[in-house]
């Protein structure tokens, strides 16, 4: 069980509070969508869970703090990329298999074949979409219990993204959990089992997609309702702009 309690993160150099008292529990087997507008704190949240940033509050895995002793139970796929650009995919596989004792070789090979990625080509020569695919393949093959993903499908076309959702659902085991940060709400609606919504560093919504379905709501409806989105805000803005134009001499 991953438990985050009263998580706070302040960037003092920018005098910015990125996370303000966030509490969240993720059980084994859950697929949690982490949603929010740009700057809501999603990436900071994931990096705090991985102990990559200093923070206030408590983050524990099965009651123990996240340290070098249990960090291998986490993996991270980020759109910023965390691989070595001059190494080939095969060399990455050799490196990861050496350092992660629970490395899943069959899963790695199957995913490489499915997405037709070249094994002996340096990563710097991959397209943006291929780099993102490979990043996720490494995260899924590491043998982690908690797989964190930060906008992992950026640069992939809609068909590749749809294939990836289907593949993920097909290969995940009951003990594997995913926390997925993305703006692609409608695409992942039927992939995630739960939605956590951040706004200005606060957790403002946490609901299962099953509950939403029973309420007759979609994920986008939930986000708009929680954010108190005004459907006519665009038309109001355009009206104001037109008025300004008409008042010009």
pLDDT digits (tens, 9 = 90+) for 112-137: 998 899 999 999 999 888 888 899 99
Note every long-range contact of 116-123, with CB atoms under 8 Å and residues 24 or more positions apart, other chains counting. Answer: 117/89, 118/89, 119/88, 119/89, 119/90, 119/93, 120/88, 120/89, 120/90, 121/88, 121/89, 122/85, 122/86, 122/87, 122/88, 123/83, 123/84, 123/85, 123/86, 123/87, 123/88, 123/89, 123/92
For residue 192 the two structure tokens come to: 């995630």
Lowest-confidence pick of 110-114, 160-164, 167-171:
160-164
Q: Which pLDDT band, with edges at 50, 70 and 90, does 185 fall under?
A: confident
Under DSSP, the state recorded for 88 is B
Q: Which helix (H) or strand (E) holds 222?
A: helix 219-227
pLDDT over threshold 80, residue 14: no
Give the β-pairing of 177-181 and 146-150: parallel
For residue 123 the two structure tokens come to: 């990563």
Q: pLDDT value at position 238?
A: 54
Q: CA-to-CA distance for 28 and 186, rounded, in angstroms?
A: 24
143 versus 240: which is more confidently predicted? 143
- Hey, what's the torsion of the CAs at 232, 235, 239, 245, to 10 degrees? 150
The mean pLDDT value for 21-32 works out to 96
Q: The whole model's pTM is what?
A: 0.86
């Amino acid at each position: 069980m991953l438990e985050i309690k009263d998580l706070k993160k302040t960037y003092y150099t920018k005098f910015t509070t990125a996370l303000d008292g966030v509490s969240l529990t993720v059980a084994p087997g859950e697929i949690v969508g982490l949603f929010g507008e740009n700057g809501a704190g999603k990436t900071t949240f994931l990096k705090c869970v991985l102990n990559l940033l200093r923070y206030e509050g408590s983050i524990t895995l099965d009651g123990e703090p996240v340290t070098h002793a249990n960090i291998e139970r986490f993996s991270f796929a980020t759109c910023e990329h965390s691989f070595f650009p001059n190494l080939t995919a095969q060399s990455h596989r050799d490196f990861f298999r050496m350092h992660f004792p629970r490395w899943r070789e069959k899963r790695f090979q199957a995913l490489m074949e499915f997405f037709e990625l070249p094994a002996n080509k340096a990563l710097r020569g991959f397209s943006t979409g291929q780099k993102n695919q490979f990043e996720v393949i490494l995260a899924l093959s590491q043998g982690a219990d908690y797989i964190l993903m930060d906008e992992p499908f950026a640069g992939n076309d809609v068909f590749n993204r749809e294939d990836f959702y289907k593949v993920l659902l097909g290969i995940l085991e009951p003990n594997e959990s995913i926390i997925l940060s993305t703006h692609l709400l409608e695409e992942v609606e039927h992939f995630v089992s739960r939605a956590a919504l951040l706004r200005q560093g606060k957790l403002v919504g946490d609901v299962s997609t099953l509950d939403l379905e029973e309420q007759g709501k979609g994920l986008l409806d939930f986000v708009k309702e929680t954010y108190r989105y005004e459907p006519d805000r665009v038309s109001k803005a355009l009206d104001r702009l037109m008025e300004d134009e008409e008042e010009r001499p």
